[in-house]
Amino acid sequence: MVEASSGRKVVALDVDVVRTPANQPLPQRLLAISEVVEHWMDTHRPDVVAIERVFAQQNVSTVMGTAQAGGIVALSAAKRGIEVYFHTPSEVKAAVTGNGRADKSQVTAMITRILQLQTAPKPADAADALALAICHCWRAPMLARMAKAEAAAEEQRKAFAARMKAVAR
């Protein structure tokens, strides 16, 4: 969890990584994740939630696990009326390192630097979570401008269609 202020200044507030035993049945693993996420949402009350948009990789089990965990987080946020945004790994990497193909060590190094941390976040998934939050903070203003522009374009399209319909009569 990060807090953004004016410009690109962000401050780390908290980060957590949920681990479940690999030998535990899937429903119990998902339940454990859900319980931690629910508690975390109730404790921190975030304004928005950013989730990694998964895509087909070579490791299908990794994609499935990430998608299932992301679904739990999205559901928990939706139940609380919290907006949810999705960002691809390459968007996150590009936002924090300038390179959409950066490796984990580059992302971790930049997160440590951006957040002015004394030590790198551990495990690497914690750095990934912070990178995702930072990416959203930095991209949100642009996404809002794009949505506003798209809405204005739609209004113009409707007005034009109405004028054309009136002329055709």
Question: Residue 116 corresponds to which tokens in the numbers above?
Answer: 């002015």
- Determine if residue 154 is labeled as part of a ligand binding site: no
Task: Yes or no: say if 20 and 29 are a contact pair by the CB < 8 Å rule.
Answer: yes
Please report, as a single letter, which amino acid is at residue 76. Answer: S
Active site residues: 52, 125
The rounded Cα 2 to chain-centroid distance in angstroms is 12
- Determine if residue 38 is labeled as part of a ligand binding site: no
Q: Which are the contacts of 101, defined by CB distance < 8 A and separation ≥ 6?
A: 90, 93
Task: Yes or no: say if 89 and 107 are a contact pair by the CB < 8 Å rule.
Answer: no
> What does residue 4 show for φ and ψ, rounded to 5 degrees?
-105, 145
Binding site per annotation, positions for Mg(2+): 52, 125
Binding site per annotation, positions: 52, 125
